[in-house]
Amino acid sequence: MKPESQRVLEIIKILRRAYPKSHTALYYKTPFQILIATVLSAQCTDKRVNKITPGLFKKYKSVYDFSNAKQSILEKKIRSTGFYRNKAKNIIAASKRIVEDFKGKVPGTMQGLVSLPGVARKTANIVLSSGFKKAEGIAVDTHVKRLSGRMGLSTEYNPEKIEKDLMRIVPKKAWLDFNYILVEHGRKTCKARGPLCRECLVSRLCPSRGIKR
């Protein structure tokens, strides 16, 4: 086993112990709901999304309801998440595609998910891991992007290139929760405005220890 793979395994082991129940912070009950919530979370906090989704899912109870939604009304419901016009357009279009091409069921594959309007690999990975317990890749959001750079797991800036780097060194059996443990660690310790290296459980394994960036 390569030293880098050993380091990654140790990081995963430590963070899993620290965050044993890590999962997406988004509110959802079905694969379709996590799809909608993840689309809404783009450029928005999970906390903000969780404030509107319970009411949103009460009004629009199924993919059929969303596919028939009037865009102007949906825009008002999701306005606080930002970029609401584009999000509403994509949500309605994706819902129609699911109804027409997938018999009303959210596709449980990467290929099927990325064929939906407004769905790229990050969203698809979250839907697969949270909604289907499937791992076809690793979701790269702002936290994973930041921590991957600081921990020396990738030197790339493009999310898809970062994902490829991670998939090469992170064991596939860890893909399912790798995003979630990094997100938890990013929120608690390896913060965007300044990492708390003295409190970091994996600082001895991090090449950026003590460096503010």
The reply to whether 122 belongs to the active site is: yes
Note if 2 is an active site residue.
Answer: no
Question: How far, in whole angstroms, is CA 24 from its chain's centroid?
Answer: 7
Q: Which of 141, 145, 164, 191 is catalytic?
A: 141
β-pair partners for 194 = 191
User: Annotated catalytic residue: which of 122, 133, 161, 177?
Assistant: 122
Look-up of token digits 């600081």: 150
Q: Which residues pair with 195 in a beta bridge?
A: 190
Residues shown for the chain: 213
- Residue 3 to residues 6, 9, 10, 35, 138: CA-CA distances in angstroms? 5, 10, 11, 37, 21
> Which residues are tagged catalytic?
122, 141
